[in-house]
């Protein structure tokens, strides 16, 4: 059997460090400190850290450092459930939503286009922090047409998930959703709400929700913590 390279051996040592001695979101020592601790060059340390990053064991925050990621098996799969509430329930975690703001604005052109509304039509802008077991997981900004939800207010949303409210209060059933995912860096205002370093890795999600009549009732932009979410897809080759 071929002898493991220095970087492979160090990768194994650092994997033990992050999985057995450190906790999620703990900060790793600097490259220089790791180089001195393991008596290896900084280039070897950098290669090992890159391997851990590619394998999902760590995440990086520009200007802040390198941190331990949540174990992959413990992260929510953003593609696995119809709604955040269902998703957390399936994982035996207690879901919560905190309404940060709810206001009405004339729909900007991009929002109007996504909701199939006339430019300037009134829309609700709903900002929420989604939590699991009291831990902030995701920030969402949802746009909803005022014409379809004229009396929407914070009181209605206090104890009822949005999709449940649409069904029970307005008789609107969400039939399908279309989502797009892409990697990005966490904006400072979102990082503060989620208790993560600014510019840390995040997963951006664009969601469009369709009713049973084919109307669009929701357009949502979300920023999810990369250390708490994964995107898992299973393909079949038939």
Domain residue spans of the chain: 6-68, 72-230
Specify the pLDDT at position 23. Answer: 86
Specify the pLDDT at position 36. Answer: 93
Specify the pLDDT at position 72. Answer: 57
Give the other-Cβ count within 10 Å of 179's Cβ.
14
Give the other-Cβ count within 10 Å of 217's Cβ.
24
Is 0.75 topped by the overall pTM?
no
Specify the pLDDT at position 58. Answer: 84
Report the CATH fold assignment for 6-68.
Arc Repressor Mutant, subunit A (1.10.10)
Supply the DSSP string of 163-230, one letter for each residue: HHHHHHHH---EEEEEEEEEEEE--HHHHHHHTS-TT-EEEEEEEEEEETTS-EEEEEEEEEETTTEE
The domains spanning 6-68 and 72-230 adopt the same CATH topology: no
Report the CATH fold assignment for 72-230.
Chorismate lyase (3.40.1410)
Give the other-Cβ count within 10 Å of 33's Cβ.
11
* Block mean pLDDT (10 aa), the chain, length 238: 71 90 88 93 91 79 78 50 56 77 95 94 95 85 96 88 90 88 88 86 88 93 78 47
């Amino acid at each position: 059997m071929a002898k493991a390279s220095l970087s492979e051996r160090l990768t194994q040592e650092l994997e033990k460090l992050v999985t057995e001695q450190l906790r999620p979101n703990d900060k790793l020592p600097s490259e220089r400190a790791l180089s001195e601790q393991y008596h290896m060059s900084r280039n070897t340390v950098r290669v090992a850290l890159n391997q851990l990053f590619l394998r999902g064991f760590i995440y990086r925050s520009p200007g802040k450092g390198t941190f331990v990621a949540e174990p992959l098996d413990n992260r929510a799969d953003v593609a696995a459930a119809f709604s955040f509430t269902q998703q957390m329930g399936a994982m035996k975690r207690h879901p919560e939503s905190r309404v940060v703001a709810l206001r009405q604005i004339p729909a900007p052109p991009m929002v109007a286009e996504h909701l199939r509304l006339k430019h300037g039509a009134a829309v609700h802008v709903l900002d929420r922090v989604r939590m699991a077991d009291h831990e902030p997981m995701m920030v969402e900004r949802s746009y909803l047409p005022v014409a379809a939800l004229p009396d929407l207010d914070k009181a209605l949303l206090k104890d009822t998930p949005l999709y449940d409210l649409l069904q029970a209060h307005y008789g609107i059933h969400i039939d399908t959703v279309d989502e797009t995912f892409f990697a990005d860096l966490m904006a400072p205002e979102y990082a503060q709400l989620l208790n993560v370093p600014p510019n840390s890795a995040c997963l951006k999600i664009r969601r469009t929700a369709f009713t049973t009549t084919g109307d669009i009732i929701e357009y949502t932009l979300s920023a999810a913590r990369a250390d708490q979410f994964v995107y898992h897809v299973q393909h079949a080759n038939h």
